[in-house]
Structure 1
Amino acid sequence: MLIRPGLRRIVAPLGERFVAMYLLEGSERALLFDTGITASVEETLLPHLAEIGFDLARLHWVISSHCDFDHTGGNAAIVAAAPHVELLAGELDVPLTEDLEVLIEQRYGEFRHSDGFDDPPETTAYIREAAAVAPVTRALRGGEEFDLGDRVIRVLHTPGHSDGHLALWDERNAALIIGDATLGTTVPTASGDPAFPPTYRDTDPYLATIELFRGYDAELLLTAHYPVYEDAEVGRFLDASAEYIATIDAAITDALEPEGMTTLELIHRVAARLGPWGPAAAEYLIFPMTGNLERMTARGTVCVGTRDGLRTWARA
């Protein structure tokens, strides 16, 4: 779908959800933001580009917003189709962008030993089957600019969901293209139903990213898994994302006990207050709740302990 001149949103299926890729095309060069999974490139992106008569020789850069498999899993497929492209990613995400096993171990398996939480085996098997990554040509830190010929696209470093998360500012189109940098109050299915919680990980950087976005006079906010937000909807989505952090803080404060609770015990106690997901999906609250708990610990309002080898949290 052509959203604005030289700015195209290409939506591919992702199970019960979808993933949006963005083609930014100028008078001389083009840039692709995210590649979804292998099927996103082979079954959606490349056929769409052929249909609109896009010459792959014009594609100079492919930027991964962040390291998650549904944003990098088509990287090998796009490199196979256009070997000349420069594959780029956020510097702090490069090791996880280039290697699925590192991603699975360090990001998706972060809570395996400390909290007793991990992806189900079938989810890990799906990741390995659906995604094929490729070596990153160059790491980005934010501040870089890409000249498409008739306009310049600026890279923003937008951590919180991941350390090296990137977004793009297309000034001519007044568009922020943000991947998963801001996640509202729930990640939706393709039909708009709640799928699972917003999985930001580091709370203060996430809030700083939201404030960074507020500083742009954006008419469009373009995400990977949500509808297109325009005009006043941009501010409402950013507000809801920030307010949800306070909602989690309040739920934690009300539920914590002096003797300490494991992260999953805490999640099970507050999940119904935080969203309408089923029990398995609700356990992915471990990402944002850990971020909030770590921040509360740093502020001295929460204490960390252990019980039977698992991390516990208690009121200070």
Structure 2
Amino acid sequence: MKKIGIIALALFMQHISAQNNRFVYQVTMKPDAENKTDIKTENAYLDISAEKSIFYSENRYKRDSILQKAFQGGGGRGSVSREQMEGVRTNINYSVEKDKSSQKTTFKDRIGRDIYSYEEDRPLNWKMSSETTKIGDYKVQKATTDFAGRKWTAWFTTDLPYQDGPYKFGGLPGLIVKVEDDKGEYSFDLMKNYKIGEIATLNQFGNTLKVKRADYLKQQEKYKTDPMSFMQSGGGGGFAGTVRVGGRGGGNQNPADMRKRMEERVKEEIKKNSNPIELQ
């Protein structure tokens, strides 16, 4: 009887873990306000369990895995090639976690060496439409909302019984299959979904600072004007002294030159991300 009980428990646990789902979205972005022809596309995951969901970039997850392996393999001071890091570049450095019991949405984003975490304080007020269509295999219904300075149109399906969606979107009677802003600058399109054993745990290199949304926005503005003040000496955005990102040319490089090059690179990145998803 004891053996049967253990088998039953194992099967039950297997059933529970199989309830975790991963929804893969293609995210299309025009992040450069000066160059709207520069269109970025990458995949992001929405992992959903019974307790919560988390939305994050596929490349960010791959990048963190590379850095973690380098850190562990190098006894706490590993190195990775610049080519490795170029292959996992992402425009989605944030993650969004939704807690089902508390109905709270937590946004996390890296600024320099630290992760800033805040609880979203603006509700999504959806206007439901009777309009329906079909996207892929799903019958979908239209809903619209104004959020963070953009007008959004979402298409959700009750075929997938999750009141969830990509980014901060959710709260509709089914899963959001597609959501885009009226300027065509940001869109999220469901590509596929499958069962997973457990939802991802993201590496949080550096400190995690819990702040109000207004404080996060202030820090973001400071970072745009003086990014190097957010970096530790030697740079690395949270990996300084732990994982070194190397390139060609060997190790005898002037620290001042390295810092100058890094500052130029960071400012160029900021310039190319002048059209954020949230305008307000």
Common fold, TM-score beyond 0.5?
Answer: no
Which has the greater radius of gyration?
2
Q: Which has the higher strand share?
A: 2
| TM-score bucket of the superposed structures, by smaller chain | under 0.3
> What TM-score, normalized by structure 1, do the two folds share?
0.24
Q: Which has the higher contact order (CA 8 A, sep 6+)?
A: 2
Q: Which has the higher helix share?
A: 1
> What TM-score, normalized by structure 2, do the two folds share?
0.27
